[in-house]
Structure 1
C-alpha cells in the first residue's frame, strides 16, 4: 500500500553537491517503510542526510517545479546490499542509527519452492499465516519491547570495525584481545609498525597522534603506561604486535611478512 515505498540507493549516497531541495526525498512523504536495494562497492552514505531523516526533525524537500516544503520523516529505512557502504568508523551519532541485519540462511537447491513468492502474495493461501505471525510479533513486542538480537549487534560491531582505517594493519600485524590484560604495546612500536606497513602496502592513510589514538580506542584498546626497556612508556592495553614484528627486546623490527600487493 501507500505505507511502503522504494527509493533509488543513490538517494542516500554522498554527492559532490547537495543542491536544492530534492524531488527524490519529496516522494517519500507519508511512507512508513522505505526499501532501497543494491549499491556498488566503495560508495559512501550521505551521513548528513541519514542523520536528518532519522533524527526526528523536519527536513526540506521539493517536487519538480514546485515550492519547497518541510515534512517530518516517519519511515524506517531498509538498505539492502551485498557490498557494505562506507561509513566513518568514529562517527558515534551515525552508528547509533545503523543496524546490520545478516541474512545467512541459504535454502538448499533441492528444497527451494519456485512458487513460494506467488503463494506468499496470495491472501487466501498465506494470508492467515502471515496475520498470525504479525499478531504473535505484536504480542512479543508488548511483552518484551524491541530487543536487538545478539546476531544483529555482533554484525553491526563487525561492520564498524571493518570501517576502521586501521583494520587491515591490525589484521596483518597485531593481535587484539580485550579479555587479555597482558596484551600491551608501546605507542612508539605501533606508530613505527604502521608507518612501515603503509610503505609496504602502498597505503596513503596518514594519521596524526590524536587520530591514531582515536582509531585504537574504536577497536577497544585502552591507553596505559607501563615499564618498557627500563623506563615508563606510553602504550596501549589489549593490543600487541605479532612476535615476528619485534626483536628479542620487544622493540619494533621491520619485516616483509605483510600481504603487499607489489
Structure 2
C-alpha cells in the first residue's frame, strides 16, 4: 500500500469491509484486483411482514453463547482453510462483473479480436465514445481507454507514419474514411 504521493509500505489488514445496500456499487474498472477483492453475497429471500418473528432478538440473546461458539469455530476454520465462497456467491459475483464491464461489452459487440487486426487509437476511441454515450456508460479519456485496452491483452502499435494504434483488435464495421481519393474506372 501507499499513501498519496508517498513511498510503498507493507501492512497487515485489520478488517474486511462489508457494504450493505439496496443497489450494487457502479464500478468503472473491472480488473483482476477488483475481481479478487470483491464478492457479491446475494440476499434473495424477503420475509413477508406477517411471517416475521417479533421475538427474534429475545430468542437470539437466549442462544448467544452457542452463536458465539459457532462464530469462533467458523473463524478458526477460515484461518486454517481460507475462504471458499459458495457457488451462489461465485455465480452472483460473475454476473455482477459481466454487467459492470462496459469495455468488455463494447469489445464483444463492436470489435473483432484477431492477432493480425490493427486499428488506430482515434478510430477505436471514437467508436467507444459513441457506444458509451448511447449506452449511458462513463466515457473517460482516450488515455484511460488505451490503458484499459492494454489490460485486455491488446498491444500498442504505430503505423508507418507514427500514428498510434493497437494490434489484436479491430472494429467489426470499420469507419468510412473522411475522404476517398479520386479514382478513374
1:225·1:234 contact (CA, 8 Å) conserved in 2? yes
Q: Is the 8 A contact 1:98 1:156 kept in 2?
A: no
Question: Structure 1 108/236 Cα, relative in aligned 2: closer, same or farther at 3 Å?
Answer: farther
**Cα shift readout 1:102-161 (whole Å, capped 9, x = no counterpart):** 2333156499442363245322xx2254134224314423531x3252636972894597
Report what 2:130 is aligned to: 196
Q: Secondary structure at the match of 1:77?
A: coil
Of 40, 56, 73, the residue aligned with 1:101 is 40
Count matched residues.
Answer: 154
Measure the CA separation in 2 of the matches of 1:202 and 1:161: 13
Match of 2:83 among 134, 147, 150: 147
Match among 5, 20, 43 for residue 80 of structure 1: 20
CA contact (8 A) 2:42 2:92 kept: no
Superposition TM-score, scaled by structure 2 size: 0.52
Write the distance in 1 (CA, Å) between the matches of 2:153 and 2:20. Answer: 35
Instruction: Give yes or no for the alignment of 1:114 onto 2:53.
Output: yes
For 2:52 and 2:27, the matched residues in 1 are separated by 37
Q: CA deviation at 1:224?
A: 4.5
Contact 2:150 2:156 in 1 (8 A): no
2:154 corresponds to which of 223, 236, 248: 223
1:212 is matched with which residue: 133, 145, 153?
145
Higher relative contact order (CA 8 A, sep 6+): 2
What is the CA distance between 1:81 and its match in structure 2? 1.8
Unmatched 5+ residue regions in structure 2?
5-9, 158-164, 177-185
User: Per residue, is there more helix in 1 or in 2?
Assistant: 2
Alpha-carbon offset, residue 74 of structure 1: 4.8
For residues 41 and 144 of structure 2, what CA distance do their matches in structure 1 show? 30
Q: What secondary structure does 1:187 align onto?
A: strand
Q: Distance in 1 between matches of 2:39 and 2:147?
A: 23
Deviation at 1:87, TM superposition (A): 5.6
Higher strand share: 1
